[in-house]
Structure formats: C-alpha cells, structure tokens
Structure 1
Amino acid sequence: MTLEDGTDVLVSVLTRHGSRTSEDVRDVTAGLIRDGRLAVGTRLPTIRELTQQSGVSTRAIVSAWGSLRREGLIETNRRGGTVVVNSATAGPAWSDRDLLSGSPDHRLQPDLTDALIAGLRSSQLNHPGREYITDRLRDAVLADWPFDAASFVAAGGGSEGLLLAVEAAAPAGSLVAVEEPVIPGFLDTLTEVGYEVIGIASDDEGARPESLADALTRRPVAVVLQPEGAYSAFGALSASRVAELVEVFQAADHLPWIVEDDAVGPLAQWQAPSVGETFGDRTVRVRSYCKAYGLDIKTCVIGGSTELIDRVIRLRVHGIATNSRILQDALAHLVVDADTADGIAVARSRYQQRRDGLVTELVARGASARAGRNSLVVWLDVRDETGALIELARRGIHVGAGARSFVTPRSGGLLRIAVPQLPDDQAALAELAEAAVEAAGSVHREFLG
C-alpha cells in the first residue's frame, strides 16, 4: 500500500465517522490496522497532512499516535515517517498494562492546561490566610452532593482524604467496620495505624443490612461504606437499601461515625444515594477526582458533618495545611466544564466496555466472574490464589490477590483484575480471559528439598 493509499483510507474513515477526539482517532486507526486496510509496512500521513485533510486537531492526532506507539502498532522515525509495524494480531503486551493496582488510563483523562489556567485566575491567589476549600470549588461540588453537607474541606488525593476522615472519626486503636471488598492498601494502612478492623458483607444493592447489624453489636467507633462500589463485586448502593441501612443504624444502641468512600468520583455510571440524608451530622463523604482527572490534580473533597470536618482540618498539621488555591480552582473548572464532562463520558463508557467485555469473556468460558456497575475491578473465583497468580505472572500478566481485599476469611480463592488499563479490543480481552481461566485451575504446591 502506498503513502497515498494510506492517507486516503485514513482520512476517508475519520471523516465518515466524524472523529474529532484523540480516542476517536486512535480507535479508528487501530481498527483499520486490525482489519488489514492499513497493513504492516503502510506509511501513514504526517500529522500536518492528516490535520489539513481530516480537520482533526494536531493535539488529538499527536495523542492518538502516542497511544498507538505505546501499543506497538506504529512507529515513527526521521526518514521513514510513521509506519504500521504490527497487525495487532499478536495481542497487547500484558506486562506493560497495570492490571494490579488499577492506575487510571491517562489517555482517557482531560488535558489540564485550561483547568490550571483557570486556577491561576483566582482572585485570592497568594493572599494571606487559609482557604480550606475555595468558594469556586464548594460551589462546583454542591450541585450534585448527595446530601445536605454542613461543611466541606479539600484534602490531597482520595486515599489521603479517606484516611483523614477515618482518623477524624476514630482514634488509633479503635474498632472500625469496613464494607468489603475494599482496596488492599486501605486495609493495610488501617492495620499499621493500629485499628481493629471488622468486615461488612455486600451484595447487588450495597452493604447487607444483617451484616451491618452484626458489626454494630460490637460497637465500632466508625463505619466505612462504599456507596458507589468502586471495588464492588456486585453493585452499588440502592435507594431501597439506604432505607434498610437507616433502620439498622436507628435500631442500634449507639450510632457510629459514618464515612462514605466515593473512590470512583465522576467516573461512576450512576451516583449512589447516601445515609447522610438521614444522619447528616454523623456522616462525611470523601469524593476522589484523581482517577477521572489525573493524579496531578491531587485534590479530593470531604463534605458532611461539621464536627468531623473540623477534626480533619486539625489533623492536617494542626490546621496549618491547606490545598493550593490553584489546584482547588483547577478542580472546580474541571467539575463544571462541559468539554471535560464530554471527555469523562467517553472514559466512563470505555471503562464500562472493558469491564463488561472481560466479564463476558470469562463467563463464556465457564468461569465465575463478576463486577459492580461502577467497579474498577473484575473479580474471578479461582481454585488456588497463589497458583493462579504464579501462572499468570509466568505469562507477564500481573493481577491482585483477592483475599487481601477482605477482612473476613474466605473459603475460596479470588483474583482482582483492575479495569482501567484493560484493552479495548475484544479479541485481546478474550486472550486475557483464556489465560485467566486456565490459571484459575492451577494449584501451587511447595516441597522442601
């Protein structure tokens, strides 16, 4: 295929699809490579040529080309230009994908230039005094906060905010109840701090009432719920389940502090309701934005009980520490910006397709696999966790041990496969599912010599 042929095909398809974003350009080009219309050895047009003929912005093409290079589909050199080097039939390089910790796909995150410029336009920039949350950020998050929060504060990333909220609610050494499954790092940190932790089981509609009731008989100082179900194996908190949980809390002989962890933030398919509608003076919600907007935003928002918010403020270097006004107002810009919302909608859809695509492939092969509607992980039942992890690692596939996400001992093995960096190609998901199902039956045996 000649350079002219490659240009004509690519421009024609991009124009027909109305492609404008970097994700569109990446998907269209990868599809043409995959189906052979852009064969290995085809020279692609220069960025300038493609911009002029397709009307797509230079920034979008540069970003798309970067993604395709990272996936090993194209390469660029000074003399030969950009050339197709892989037909995509070999599948992705699994070792290059973070299927363990769940790092976001940065290709699906917004460009921060406009947001940071908006942050620099703060009328209070460099003024003396502390703003625990700027007016712009408070106004931005109020629009869809799930209950009437009396106070707000901005903190660092979501993990920092969650730990601050727990520490504000419960002194070290206290008993804390946590809805399971949960991200392992959070459980590890609670243990290191010295908390005694008990688990609360969940199902399709959120934390199970009978499990919460059992936990409350032990009088925990704080209860951590996950309404959106960022790591759920089943679903997210429903309105009917909120009513049941409220009844359980009301029937208990004491009311603990309630911390709601919204780790998925704007990427949620559907925002869950809150027990804070009833217990506003005992509840805070921690909303993370890093997975949606990028790690460098480094700002979460905690809203709810004034008493707990005041404690959070004091915990941050005795009330001295505050988040930069620039970062706070940059986040405010992202929360209300229409173009950013369109991009997040694309990311939300892409993550859903990846999550559902992998579950579909696993179930089609007879595996027991599941994920919640907002979940950033897929859960897979296995015969032996250690054996399955070792077998997948031999293939360059690194996933998580499910047992580390539970306080309550489990009878069977479980793997945790992070969603954000899964491939979009269904054939690649099928390849991963095939490997995972084969590993699910592996058993690790240790022998002493």
Structure 2
Amino acid sequence: MADIEAETLARHLSERSPSGLAEQVRELISAGTLSGGMRLPTVRDLATEIGVSVGTIAQAWSLLRESNLVETRRRGGTRIVEPGDVGGPNFRSWSGVDLLHCSPDPRLLPSLEEAMVRSLKQPQLHSWSREHILPELQRAVEKKLGQQAESTQTRSFAAISSATEGLWLATKSVTSGGDLIAVEEPASPGYLSVPKSLGLRTIGVPVDEHGPVPEALQRALDAGAVAFVHSPGGAFSPRHLLSAERTQELARVLESSPETVIIEEDPLGPLAEVDPFAHSLDVLLPERTLRVIGFERAYGMDLRTAVMSGPKQLINRAIAERSGGVSSNSRILQNTLAFLLRDPSAGRRLNSARTRYANRRRMALEALAEVGLTAHAGPASWAIWVQVPDERTAALTLSAQGVITDVGSSSHMTEQPTGLLRISCAQLPEDKELLDGLAQLILRATEDGLNSTFV
C-alpha cells in the first residue's frame, strides 16, 4: 500500500499535463507535504483518480526522476528521494558542478516541450518579415514588468539571442573606440571582456549595501564616462540590491551628465528573487536607459531569446550593430518564450527553483562561516565571494581538487589581485555534509596552497 493514497494525492493536483503534474508534486515535496522515503500511489491508481491516461502519469514521474526527486524500484514502487540522496549517492565529484559560470541547474528548468509544440502551430510561422520582436512576446514581457508598465508606452523592444549579446549590442551602440565607460564593480561574470574587445576604457563604480556608490559614479562621470553599466537586482553582487533612496541619489548624479547612457541588466529574468527593476534608473531617466533582460537562467540556454527595451533611438542604434540591422530572432523561440512567461505551470516551476537557489546560497554561506571563512553574497545573488589571502594560489589549489572557481580580479577594473574567490551557488548540492566538505577544501587552499617552486 502507498504511503499516500491516490485519492489524497489527487486532491492536491489540478494540472493534467505531465509537466504540470510533475511541478505540483515538486511543490508538495518543497512544502513537506510529501516527505523523503514516502511511497507514491501506483501510476494506474492515480491516473484513474484524476482522470488522465496512465502514460501521462508515467511521463510526470519520468520528469521527477530526471530531477532526482523520485526513484522507482522494481518491487518498491515509486518513492520520494530522501533529501540527502540528491547530493549523496548521486554526487560524483566537484568537477561536475559549475562553480564558475553562474549557470542554472538543468534539473530545475521548466520543460520546453508543450511551449515549443504550441509555438510550431502559430499562424505567422515562416512569414517573410523581420520584426524586431513579436507582439505576443512584447505583451508578455510588458506584463512581467508590472509597475513599470506605464513607461513601456514610449519604449521600443527587440528580441535578441542572449543577455550577453544584449550587453554587447548596448555597449557597442553607445560608444566609440577609446571611450571610457563606468561599470558597477564587481562586474557581471565575463562582462569585462566586452569593453576590452571594443577597445574601450573602464572605470569601476564600487557598491555598498544599497547599490553603486554615488561619489564613485560622480568621479567616473567627471573622468568622461559615456555610459554606466549596472545591475539593479544585484544578481552577482557581494552585497547589494539597489534601494529606492540610492536610485534617487544616482539619478541626481547622472543629471549632471545628460549625454551618459545607462545600461541596466537583469540576467536572472523571472528567476530574480525580487523585481530587479523595482528601483530602476529607467523610471527616472527613461529617455537614456537601455534594459537587457535575460531568460537563459530561467528557461535554459537553448531557448536563445532575451529582450532589450529602451527609447526607440537607442534600440535602433543597438539593432543596427546586429548584422547590419537586418537580423531577427526565430519566431519559434519567441513564441515559446511568450508561452512560458504566461504558463502557470512554468511559473510554479520557477517559484520552486527560486526557493531552491536561495536555499543553496544560505546553506553555502553557513558552511563557509562554520569553518571560519569570511564570505559575502547579496540578498538575491547567485555568486558567493570568499576572502582569501592569495586568490591565484587558492584557485590553483582548488582546481587540482576538481573545484573550479573564478578569481575576484576578473570582475574588477584593477589588475591587482583582490583576494577574492567567486563561487556560483546555483548548482551547489543541498547537502550539508558535501557543503561542509567544500568549505574545508577552500579553507585548506587558503592555508596551504600548491608549492609552485622547482623540484
């Protein structure tokens, strides 16, 4: 007999698609309604109870197995995996965990199947036109902007292939070789390669708990910065979310430099724990602000669709840098994203994932603190910054153990070592024993290090 009867479980399930059912079971696991070791009803019993096919339940269970949330034993039926099992027996080595790129956990991504199938049936498929963005996607994005909706009436939108491309286009379109740009420090992973490739100079604008420091931004503007790049949601920050008061202060500073363009990035998109544009310079200075909204971490890299928004003249300049202005994004992918943004099942999956990512950050910070390491992460950050005596030696030592991290100097304007390691927390196992072990590895790397002298 199952530990939870089909009739009881069915009362919690309102979805009828495999992905929807799987997501609702995930929510029940996260809420503790279904606990580790509990045996689920048979596929046939549950299918009969909620009025779907046996195949539908089987597919839902398959999705849960892919996420390591359930396991099916030959004689023991399907059971909820014990929490420790996700990291324990299934864990091979740290070399299989992305601690470098801040990429999402593939197991937490919503399924693209239903959205993709619906997209293939849209009437405008293969139309020989090159609109910057489909109306369906623009409406879905405008709705997600929530309280910012009023300002979207005067804005233009464009679909692009990724947030990385969006930042490159935005930066390229508002600068010329040799220009100086101000960049929030630490910068987002990999961003500093963009100005370098464009022959631009950079000046760092450090942050505190409230956002970029106004006095530092003023110094950058006085030095001639033609653009200011920052992330209001602090997606990879060691300490901040942009506050309402700081937004006002930054706007007052920027008013003294009316030609400076503002580039705001939102790399987490719907996964952000708080609205990254709740406090945004775009609200106060919309006529010169470009937004770049990424969806790769929410829905997966292969969706290949991000969105730029801004005043028409800035969007047109950015698009002109993209294949001479004639390039456009696949309608299949745009319609898929529009469906996902509206789909309640995908929304619940993101809610669950958001909670899991926040839990991983919290558990990792606790493990690092327990061994005496000083580590920081912003309240909605996917990056943990660990203080070390020598970042190069620590990173090299950890790499020999299969632990690949970034060093802080790769995200700062100065070439001098910062004494920081940046660790992505998105793929960390929710397993205290494993996280304690990782903390010990980092501690030993700060104490010993590799001996690089000749034998």
Distance 2:283 2:57 in 1: 45
**Which residue does 2:325 correspond to in 1?**
319
Distance 1:172 1:366 in 2: 46
Letter of the 1:188 counterpart: S
Q: Give the superposition deviation at 1:245.
A: 0.2
Letter of the 2:382 counterpart: L
Counting only pairs closer than 5 Å after superposition, residues 46-445 of structure 1 correspond to structure 2 as: 48=43, 57-68=57-68, 88=85, 92-93=91-92, 94-145=94-145, 146=148, 147-148=151-152, 150-252=155-257, 254-271=258-275, 272=277, 273-409=279-415, 412-445=418-451
More displaced 10-residue stretch of structure 1: 332-341 or 435-444? 435-444
More displaced 10-residue stretch of structure 1: 263-272 or 395-404? 395-404
* Number of residue pairs aligned between Structure 1 and Structure 2: 431
**Structure 1 contact 100–418 (Cα < 8 Å) conserved:** yes
Report the RMSD for the aligned CA atoms in angstroms.
3.5
Aligned CA distance change for structure 1 residues 207 and 83 (closer, same or farther; 3 Å)? closer
Letter of the 2:448 counterpart: S
Q: Percent identity?
A: 33
Q: Give the superposition deviation at 1:439.
A: 2.3
Q: Give the superposition deviation at 1:365.
A: 2.4
Q: Give the superposition deviation at 1:65.
A: 2.0
Query: SS of the counterpart of 1:185?
Result: coil
**Structure 2 contact 40–79 (Cα < 8 Å) conserved:** no
Distance 2:453 2:129 in 1: 64
More displaced 10-residue stretch of structure 1: 17-26 or 170-179? 17-26
Aligned CA distance change for structure 1 residues 207 and 326 (closer, same or farther; 3 Å)? same
Distance 2:357 2:292 in 1: 22
Aligned CA distance change for structure 1 residues 318 and 361 (closer, same or farther; 3 Å)? same
Query: SS of the counterpart of 1:21?
Result: helix
Letter of the 1:314 counterpart: A
Distance 2:387 2:426 in 1: 20
Distance 1:302 1:53 in 2: 47
Q: Give the superposition deviation at 1:297.
A: 1.3
Q: Give the superposition deviation at 1:131.
A: 1.1
Aligned CA distance change for structure 1 residues 386 and 205 (closer, same or farther; 3 Å)? same
List alignment gaps of at least 5 residues for structure 2.
14-20, 51-55
**Structure 2 contact 209–241 (Cα < 8 Å) conserved:** yes
TM-score by length of 2: 0.84
Q: C-alpha offsets along residues 254-310 of structure 1, whole Å, 9 cap, x if unaligned?
A: 531111011111111111321111221111100001100111211111001211100
TM-score by length of 1: 0.85
Q: C-alpha offsets along residues 34-83 of structure 1, whole Å, 9 cap, x if unaligned?
A: 98x69xxxxx99985796699793223212223339xxx97989x99999
Q: Give the superposition deviation at 1:321.
A: 0.4
Distance 1:408 1:333 in 2: 43
**Which residue does 1:21 correspond to in 2?**
22
Letter of the 2:264 counterpart: E
**Which residue does 2:18 correspond to in 1?**
none
Letter of the 2:347 counterpart: A
Distance 1:193 1:47 in 2: 59
Distance 2:346 2:380 in 1: 19
**Structure 2 contact 26–352 (Cα < 8 Å) conserved:** no
**Structure 1 contact 384–444 (Cα < 8 Å) conserved:** no
Letter of the 1:131 counterpart: E
Letter of the 1:267 counterpart: L
**Structure 1 contact 384–442 (Cα < 8 Å) conserved:** no
Letter of the 1:95 counterpart: S
**Structure 1 contact 25–61 (Cα < 8 Å) conserved:** no
Q: Give the superposition deviation at 1:110.
A: 1.0
Distance 2:338 2:321 in 1: 24
Letter of the 2:272 counterpart: A
